[in-house]
């Protein structure tokens, strides 16, 4: 059984690229999740206990993590926690492993830039962008074609009508906008 957890912490080392038996990508790294407390007597923040987690991201998520994340960055992730007992010649202990369902940068501490992943069909990214744009436009098109039914559609809002840049509503109308 595994529990669902959400963790906010710092990536401890460089991400390690691994592969499944089938050749799929895996991103593996350690995450430090610490607490800070305000020491009211001294008036300063002090570090509390830190927990360390072994994190794995599989498939496209793993490939994207390898491309996007670096040592020292603060991330927010959600996934399945599994506690695993281990033992070697000199020690024994418990390891906290998390298989990631979603991960991203913690925007409280910086900014990031999102890029859609390129499709793996072998075509160029520019062609994919053009296809995506035309598919998005088609999704919002009127059923039955561009002109069919257009005369039955009432245009509302700024610029509605035949090329006018004036708002459609008159001064006497009440509008929340």
Question: Are residues 97 and 18 both part of a single domain?
Answer: yes
57 falls within a domain: yes
Give me the mean pLDDT over the 14-19 stretch. Answer: 95
Q: Please give the pLDDT value at position 113.
A: 87
- Domain final position from 117, 132, 154: 117
pLDDT in tens, 32-52: 999 888 889 999 989 889 999
Q: Please give the pLDDT value at position 121.
A: 47
**Residue 100 to residue 58: CA distance in whole angstroms:** 8
Which tokens is 53 given? Answer: 């987690």
Question: Are residues 54 and 137 both part of a single domain?
Answer: no
More confident position, 117 or 6: 6
Question: Are residues 88 and 145 both part of a single domain?
Answer: no
Q: Please give the pLDDT value at position 176.
A: 45
* Structural domain total, the chain: 2
Question: Are residues 95 and 15 both part of a single domain?
Answer: yes
Residue 70 has pLDDT above 80, yes or no: yes
174 falls within a domain: no
48 falls within a domain: yes
Query: What pTM value is reported for the model?
Result: 0.62
pLDDT bin (cut points 50, 70, 90) of residue 68 is very high
Question: Are residues 44 and 107 both part of a single domain?
Answer: yes
**DSSP string of 136-164, one letter each residue:** HHHHHSPTT-SSTTGGGPPP-STT-SSS-
Query: What percentage of residues in the chain have a pLDDT greater than 70?
Result: 66
pLDDT in tens, 121-130: 444 444 444 4
Is the separation of the CB atoms in 34 and 47 below 8 Å? yes
Residue 95 has pLDDT above 70, yes or no: yes
Give me the mean pLDDT over the 85-102 stretch. Answer: 94
172 falls within a domain: no
Domain residues for the domain of 157 are: 122-165
Residue 58 has pLDDT above 60, yes or no: yes
176 falls within a domain: no
**Beta strands 44-58; 25-39: pairing state:** antiparallel
171 falls within a domain: no
Q: Please give the pLDDT value at position 32.
A: 96
Residue 31 has pLDDT above 90, yes or no: yes
Question: Are residues 91 and 7 both part of a single domain?
Answer: yes
**Residue 172 to residue 159: CA distance in whole angstroms:** 18
Question: Are residues 135 and 93 both part of a single domain?
Answer: no
Q: Please give the pLDDT value at position 157.
A: 42
């Amino acid at each position: 059984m595994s529990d669902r957890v959400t963790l906010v912490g710092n990536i401890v080392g460089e991400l390690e690229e691994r592969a499944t038996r089938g050749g799929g990508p895996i991103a593996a790294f350690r995450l430090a999740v610490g607490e800070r407390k305000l020491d009211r007597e001294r008036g300063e923040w002090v570090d509390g206990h830190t927990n360390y987690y072994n994190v794995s991201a599989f498939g496209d998520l793993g490939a994207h993590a390898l491309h996007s994340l670096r040592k020292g960055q603060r991330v927010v992730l959600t996934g399945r926690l599994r506690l695993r007992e281990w033992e070697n010649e000199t020690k024994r202990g418990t390891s906290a492993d998390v298989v990631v369902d979603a991960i991203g940068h913690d925007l409280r501490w910086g900014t990031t830039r999102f890029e859609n992943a390129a499709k793996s069909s072998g075509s160029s990214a520019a062609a994919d962008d053009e296809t995506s744009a035309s598919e998005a436009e088609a999704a919002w098109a009127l059923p039955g074609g561009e002109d069919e039914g257009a005369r039955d559609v009432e245009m509302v809002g700024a610029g509605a009508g035949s090329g006018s840049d004036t708002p459609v509503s008159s001064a006497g109308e009440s509008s929340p906008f």
